[in-house]
Each structure stands twice: as structure tokens, then as C-alpha cells.
């Protein structure tokens, strides 16, 4: 246990040292504030519109960014240490491979969680202070849910990055695979589902389709953040399907957690198979 | 109980066999020198002891247990070949990190930095360290937590003569404290005085193992007698070469003769009786000579078995 914290502590201080934490927090804060005030510019308005609209815009942005940042943060976690020569040394210490992996996950996970809290938290505070007649309870609930689910989404992709990192024999191929995973889950998956829907010309059971969304953590994340606002017309594209999804929100959260757990287990399995 | 017990171990990577039926043991408080050419299997032996590799056949016991157990690893120090660290950490941070991972007292860190002569560079980033400094930091890392078994893979590579001497002094001190040490090297000069036994590996086979005097006896290599300031060099050359000794002229009035075991005293007596040498040197076969002997024997053996 002590060792897990030591590794986590090192990863975390690395994140402080190379300014990752600072950079991600700043990026999140700027984008969140920008979207809150300028998000409605397309419809001819400038200024804060509503909490559901802001959250919807933020969620669709975070769907792209969060996985990318998590993958960038962690893709070299294992293969980088291997190339640097420190992995072999670590493995001769009284540590299991699971402890190494878990330590890294805790360290990286803390960086992501803190950056999310600081970055999006700043935007929430700014809205609370600067917008006059905002429902503070609603703001806290919506932003809290958004920040927690964003962190979970980041953790899923951290764990997926460890899978790649344990599999790859070179850092560059891990980077390539990370890009591939991002592309698959963020872009290709939804397109493939739509294509399936169109090409099957109705022979595909439409009741099944919403369930397929659970196979993609970014879709689960979007479902979590778009639900719960009554009468919001923000559900576009594939998300419109979710209206028929007879699943409670708790199941969506569970699904996201499951994604974290299963990916970590897969990473552990890959790491154990890795030769030194 | 032996610190390391390797019995009949073979190791294969795919279709390539890198160790053939190796049997080797290391007693408590013993220093074993493990020598061999590049790719002879030295590092593989180390990895087996560390539990980084699973044996294909045979058994390995370390400190009475199977390798790779956390209890065993806590009592084990390892300096890898070409050791590297996290470039962004300072020397002190690096040692503190590894001390925490090993469960060793953090108070050791400053002492160890001093022992390896890195106190003044302790707060600089490892990125700025020279190869020799990295090697010394690696050594300090290996000695963390007072290990009972120390594995050093090419510890002297990159060290200047002073640092090499300090390394051997440290090894002697650790041995006195009861640590068992395996020293893996292909730099042979200067190691002799610091090891109890030597093992010579070639092509994954153990060629010889034993104390240096044992190996000298077995190899039966001639000692070289070098005498200078002789009055009748030409006569000596003729006489000894005729008698079947290999004698060559060296320097102005000097001579070097190979004295096969049993003839050494005879040759010396002849020299003193019939000439007035100014100086006499007797050169025992060095570790390098032994190494060369066992290596050439290994190559002729493999050539002999292959049609």
C-alpha cells in the first residue's frame, strides 16, 4: 500500500513539475468560461444563456478533449519506463506489477481529477458570481455531475492508455495506438452505428441500438450529462436514440465505473504478460 | 543455507538456448566473480536470480526461497548494466524514492550519497550527471536497505580509477558485514583481490568455477619468469629452448621463460647458480590469462562437437 502511494506521489509531482496539471487546468478554465459566455453566439446571443445549454456544450467539448488528454498523459507510462531503463529496476524491487500500475493510475488520476476540479470549477464559480438570476442549486448539481463524470471518463482513457503502453514495445507505436483508440471511440464508433442503422434499412432491431451506446464510454458520458434536463432539445444525432433507453442514470454511472475497472484489469493482464 | 542455489538450470528464448544445464551456488558472505564474453549468459543468470525470468528447466533458490518473492527482494540489491534513472529527479530525490519503494530507512540516503561521493551533486538533476556519476548513484541504490545479496552487473564500467578503487573498498566492507555478492564483469584487471571464487561462462555453459588458485591449478598455466641484466643471455636462450621451455629475449639483457608447474624452482636455481641476474620477476597467470585459457578451450570444444 505504502509503495502504491510512493509511485502515485512521484507521478503526481512529475505532473506538477512538467506543468501538465497547470496546463490542463488552464485549458479547461478558458474553454469553459468561453463556452459559457460565447456558446450561444451562433444563435445571435452573447452572454450566458442557460445551465443545460452550457453543460451540453461543455460535455460535447470534453468528449473530445478528455480522452485525448488522458491518453497523452499516460500512453508512455509503461513503455516509457521500459525504454528509459527504469522499468527493469522497478521490477527488481519488492513491488508487484499490479502495485506499479495502480500507483501510476492513482497519480495520473489525481492529476486529471484536480485539473477538472480547478478548470471547470473556476467556470462554475465565475457563472455563480457574474450571472444574476442563476439557480445556484441547479448550477452546483449540474457542474458537480459534469465534473465527476468527466473525471471518470478521463480515468477510463487512462486505463486504456495503460493497456496500450503495456502492449507496445516502443513509445512511438504506443502513441500511434493511443491516437487510434481516440479516433475509434470519439469519432468512428458513432459513425459506424449510424451506418449500421442506415444500411440495415430497418431490419436491425432498433430496440437494440441504444444498448450499443453503452459499449462506448464517451457515449455513456454524454448520456449522463444530457439527461435530467426537462424539455431540453439538446439531444442531437445519436443521442436522440437514448430517449428510448430504459436505463436509469445509476446504471450509466455504473457502466462508466465498469469501464474503468475492466480496462484496468485488462491493462494488468497485458502488463503481466510483458517480458522484461 | 546458501545465498543462491542454481541447480541444473536451462534457459531458452524461443528456439535459442542461452543457458545449458547450469549449476552454481553462492555461500553466505561470499563474493563470486561471474565472467564471460558478451552474450555468454551473465545477465540471464542475474535475471533468473532476480526472478525477472522464469526458468525453462531446473531450479533457482535465493536466500532459501523462490526468487521474485517480496521478502526476498527486500533483501536484495541490484545494479543493472548501464543503469538509468528518471532524468527529471535529483540524485537525492531518486534515492529517497527507491528507499521508500524498498521500505528502507530514509536516513540512509544522505550517508549513501556521501559514501559514493555524490553529496555535492545530490540536488542536481540526474539529467546533468556523467556516466560515472550515474553508475555511483546506481550503486548507492543497490546498497539501500543493507541487502544480504548484492548483484552487480558491470559495476566498474564508466568509473575512473579512484571511483573503481572506492567501489572495491565498498564491496570488501559489505562482504565483512556478511553480504553475499555476485560481481559480473568483463573488466578483469583489479578484480582478483576482491573475489573469493570465479565462475567463467561461455556460450551459456559454465566452463570453470572455483577459487583462483584452484582454477590456476586446473588450468596448469605456466608462470612467467622474467630476469634482466644477464651476462649470458644467448646461452640461456639456446639451452632452455633446447630443453623444451619457451624462452624469449626481452629488453637489453633480459629473458622471459615460461615455467610450467614443477619447473619454476629449477629454472630459478639455474639462473642464480650460473648467472648474476639484476632483477627477477615471477608473473603468476593472471585472471586474464585464466579467462583467455578457458575461453579458447570453450571455442575449441564447440568446434569439436560441430561436424
- pLDDT of A231: 47
CA distance linking residue B167 with residue B162, whole number of Å: 9
- pLDDT of B79: 93
DSSP string, B200-243: EEETTEEEEEE-HHHHHHHHTPPEEEEEES-S-HHHHHHHHHHT
- pLDDT of B193: 83
Contact status, residue A94 vs residue B73, Cβ threshold 8 Å: yes
**In terms of CA atoms, which chain A residue is nearest residue B67?**
A92
Contact status, residue B49 vs residue B60, Cβ threshold 8 Å: yes
CA distance linking residue B239 with residue B222, whole number of Å: 18
- pLDDT of B306: 45
Angle A112-A113-A116 from CA coordinates, rounded to 5°: 85
A20-38 helix and A2-17 helix, angle to the nearest 10 degrees: 60
- pLDDT of A242: 57
Left, alpha or beta for A148 (phi > 0: left; psi -120 to 50: alpha)? alpha
Highest mean pLDDT among A7-16, A229-238, B53-62, B225-234: A7-16
Highest mean pLDDT among A81-90, A107-116, B295-304: A107-116
Residue numbers in A near B74 (CB within 8 A): 94
Count contacts between A and B (CB, < 8 Å): 56
Would you tell me how many other CB atoms lie within 10 Å of the CB of residue A5?
14
Of the pLDDT bands very low, low, confident and very high (cuts 50, 70, 90), residue A236 is low
Asked if A85 and B84 come within 8 Å (Cβ–Cβ), the reply is yes
Give the one of A6, A84, A276 whose C-beta lies nearest to B100's C-beta: A6
Asked if A85 and B47 come within 8 Å (Cβ–Cβ), the reply is no
- Write the pLDDT tens digit of every residue in A130-183: 887 778 888 888 899 999 999 999 999 999 999 999 999 999 999 999 999 999
Task: Give the best residue of A94, A103, A107, A273 to mutate against chain B (max B CB count within 10 A).
Answer: A94
Would you tell me how many other CB atoms lie within 10 Å of the CB of residue B56?
13
**Cell reading at B158:** 564508466
**Cell reading at B119:** 553529496
Highest mean pLDDT among A72-86, A203-217, B250-264, B286-300: A72-86
Contact status, residue B233 vs residue B248, Cβ threshold 8 Å: no
Of the pLDDT bands very low, low, confident and very high (cuts 50, 70, 90), residue A102 is very high
List CB contacts of B63: < 8 A, sequence separation 6 or more: B1, B3, B4, B72, B75, B76, B148, B149
b/e A154-176 (16+ beta carbons within 10 angstroms → b): bbbbbbbbbbbbbbbeebeebbe
CA distance linking residue A25 with residue A65, whole number of Å: 12
- pLDDT beneath 50: ranges in chain B: 304, 306-307
**In terms of CA atoms, which chain B residue is nearest residue A83?**
B84
CA distance A165 to chain B (A): 18
Strand B197-202, strand B31-36: pairing: parallel
Of the pLDDT bands very low, low, confident and very high (cuts 50, 70, 90), residue A217 is very high
SS3 category, B121? helix
Asked if A86 and B53 come within 8 Å (Cβ–Cβ), the reply is no
Of the pLDDT bands very low, low, confident and very high (cuts 50, 70, 90), residue A72 is very high
Model pTM score = 0.85
**Cell reading at B151:** 548483484
Which comes out higher in pLDDT, residue B255 or A108?
A108
SS3 category, B132? helix
CA distance linking residue B18 with residue B46, whole number of Å: 13
**Cell reading at B43:** 545477465
Mean of pLDDT over chain A: 86
* Segment 133-162 of chain B within 8 Å of chain A by CB: 141
Is A113 a residue whose pLDDT tops 60?
A: yes
Of the pLDDT bands very low, low, confident and very high (cuts 50, 70, 90), residue A229 is low
CA distance B63 to chain A (A): 15
CA distance A103 to chain B (A): 11
Q: What is the 3-state secondary structure (H, E, C) of chain A?
A: CHHHHHHHHHHHHHHHHCCHHHHHHHHHHHHHHHHHHHCCHHHCCCCCCCHHHHHHHHHHHHHHHHHHHHHHHHCCCCHHHHHHCHHHHHHCCCCCHHHHHHHHHHHHHHHHHHHHHHHHHHHHHHHHHHCCCCCHHHHHHHHHHHHHHHHHHHHHHHHHHHHHHHHCCCHHHHHHHHHHHHHHHHHHHHHHHHHHHHHCCCCCCCCCHHHHHHHCHHHHHHHHHHCCCCCCCCCCHHHHHHHHCCCCHHHHHHHHHHHHHHHHHHHHHHHHHCCC
Of the pLDDT bands very low, low, confident and very high (cuts 50, 70, 90), residue A7 is very high
Asked if B101 and A94 come within 8 Å (Cβ–Cβ), the reply is yes
CA distance A87 to chain B (A): 10
- pLDDT of A10: 94
CA distance linking residue A269 with residue A178, whole number of Å: 18
Is A247 a residue whose pLDDT tops 50?
A: yes
| Mean pLDDT on A71-99 | 92
Would you tell me how many other CB atoms lie within 10 Å of the CB of residue B235?
12
| Mean pLDDT on A184-208 | 82
Angle B113-B116-B4 from CA coordinates, rounded to 5°: 105
CA distance A135 to chain B (A): 47
Strand B223-228, strand B279-283: pairing: antiparallel
Is A232 a residue whose pLDDT tops 50?
A: no
- pLDDT of B109: 93
- pLDDT of A8: 95
Is A42 a residue whose pLDDT tops 60?
A: yes
Contact status, residue B17 vs residue B55, Cβ threshold 8 Å: no
Burial-class residue B234 by CB neighbours within 10 Å (0-12, 13-18, 19+). Answer: exposed
B16 reaches A (C-beta below 8 A): no
Left, alpha or beta for A228 (phi > 0: left; psi -120 to 50: alpha)? left
Is A39 a residue whose pLDDT tops 80?
A: no
CA distance linking residue A164 with residue A76, whole number of Å: 9
CA distance linking residue A50 with residue B139, whole number of Å: 62
Asked if B86 and A84 come within 8 Å (Cβ–Cβ), the reply is yes
Q: Phi, psi at residue B183, to the nearest 5°? A: -115, 115
CA distance linking residue A202 with residue A154, whole number of Å: 35
CA distance linking residue A267 with residue B8, whole number of Å: 35
Amino acid at each position: 500500500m505504502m509503495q502504491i502511494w510512493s509511485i502515485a506521489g512521484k507521478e503526481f509531482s512529475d505532473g506538477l513539475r512538467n506543468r501538465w496539471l497547470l496546463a490542463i487546468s488552464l485549458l479547461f478554465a478558458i474553454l469553459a468560461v468561453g463556452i459559457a459566455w460565447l456558446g450561444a453566439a451562433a444563435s445571435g446571443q452573447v452572454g450566458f444563456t442557460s445551465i443545460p445549454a452550457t453543460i451540453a456544450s461543455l460535455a460535447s467539448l470534453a468528449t473530445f478533449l478528455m480522452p485525448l488528454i488522458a491518453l497523452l498523459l499516460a500512453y508512455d507510462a509503461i513503455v516509457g519506463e521500459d525504454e528509459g531503463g527504469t522499468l527493469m529496476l522497478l521490477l527488481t524491487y519488492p513491488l508487484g506489477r499490479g502495485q506499479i500500475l495502480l500507483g501510476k493510475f492513482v497519480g495520473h488520476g489525481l492529476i486529471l481529477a484536480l485539473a477538472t476540479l480547478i478548470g471547470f470549477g473556476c467556470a462554475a464559480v465565475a457563472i455563480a458570481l457574474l450571472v444574476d438570476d442563476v439557480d445556484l442549486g441547479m448550477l452546483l448539481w449540474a457542474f458537480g455531475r459534469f465534473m465527476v463524470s468527466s473525471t471518470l471518463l478521463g480515468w477510463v482513457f487512462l486505463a486504456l492508455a495503460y493497456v496500450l503502453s503495456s502492449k507496445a514495445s516502443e513509445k512511438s507505436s504506443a502513441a500511434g495506438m493511443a491516437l487510434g483508440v481516440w479516433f475509434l471511440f470519439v469519432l468512428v464508433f458513432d459513425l459506424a452505428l449510424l451506418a449500421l442503422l442506415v444500411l440495415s434499412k430497418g431490419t436491425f432491431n432498433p430496440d437494440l441500438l441504444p444498448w450499443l451506446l453503452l459499449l462506448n464510454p464517451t457515449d455513456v458520458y454524454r448520456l449522463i450529462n444530457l439527461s435530467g434536463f426537462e424539455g431540453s432539445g439538446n439531444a442531437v444525432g445519436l443521442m436522440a436514440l437514448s430517449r428510448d433507453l430504459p436505463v436509469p442514470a445509476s446504471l450509466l454511472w455504473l457502466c462508466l465505473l465498469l469501464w474503468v475497472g475492466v480496462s484496468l484489469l485488462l491493462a494488468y493482464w497485458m502488463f503481466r504478460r510483458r517480458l522484461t | 543455507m546458501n545465498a543462491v542455489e542454481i541447480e541444473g538450470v536451462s534457459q531458452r528464448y524461443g528456439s535459442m538456448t542461452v543457458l545449458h544445464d547450469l549449476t552454481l551456488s553462492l555461500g553466505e558472505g561470499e563474493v563470486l566473480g561471474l565472467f564471460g564474453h558478451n552474450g555468454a549468459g551473465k545477465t540471464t543468470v542475474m535475471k533468473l536470480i532476480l526472478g525477472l525470468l522464469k526458468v525453462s528447466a531446473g531450479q533457482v533458490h535465493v536466500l532459501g526461497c523462490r526468487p521474485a518473492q517480496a521478502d526476498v527482494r527486500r533483501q536484495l540489491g541490484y545494479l543493472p548494466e548501464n543503469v538509468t534513472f528518471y532524468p527529471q529527479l535529483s540524485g537525492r530525490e531518486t534515492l529517497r524514492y527507491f528507499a521508500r519503494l524498498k521500505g528502507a530507512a530514509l536516513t540512509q540516503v544522505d550517508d549513501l550519497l556521501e559514501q559514493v561521493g555524490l553529496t555535492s551533486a545530490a540536488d542536481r538533476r540526474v539529467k546533468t550527471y556523467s556516466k560515472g556519476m550515474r553508475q555511483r548513484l546506481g550503486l548507492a541504490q543497490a546498497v539501500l536497505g543493507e541487502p544480504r545479496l548484492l548483484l552487480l552487473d558491470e559495476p566498474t564500467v564508466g568509473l575512473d580509477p579512484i571511483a573503481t578503487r572506492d567501489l572495491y573498498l565498498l564491496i570488501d566492507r559489505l562482504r565483512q558485514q556478511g553480504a553475499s555478492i555476485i560481481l559480473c564483469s568483463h573488466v578483469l584487471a583489479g578484480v582478483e583481490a576482491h573475489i573469493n571464487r570465479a565462475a567463467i561462462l561461455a556460450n551459456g555453459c559454465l566452463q570453470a568455477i572455483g577459487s583462483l588458485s584452484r582454477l590456476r591449478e586446473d588450468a596448469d598455466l605456466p608462470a612467467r619468469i622474467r630476469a634482466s641484466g644477464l651476462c649470458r643471455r644467448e646461452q640461456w636462450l639456446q639451452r632452455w629452448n633446447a630443453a623444451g621451455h619457451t624462452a624469449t629475449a626481452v629488453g637489453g639483457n633480459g629473458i622471459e621463460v615460461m615455467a610450467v608447474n614443477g619447473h619454476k624452482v629449477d629454472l630459478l636455481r639455474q639462473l642464480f647458480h650460473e648467472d648474476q641476474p639484476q632483477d627477477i620477476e615471477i608473473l603468476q597467470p593472471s585472471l586474464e590469462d585464466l579467462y583467455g585459457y578457458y575461453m579458447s578451450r570453450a571455442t575449441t570444444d564447440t568446434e569439436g562437437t560441430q561436424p
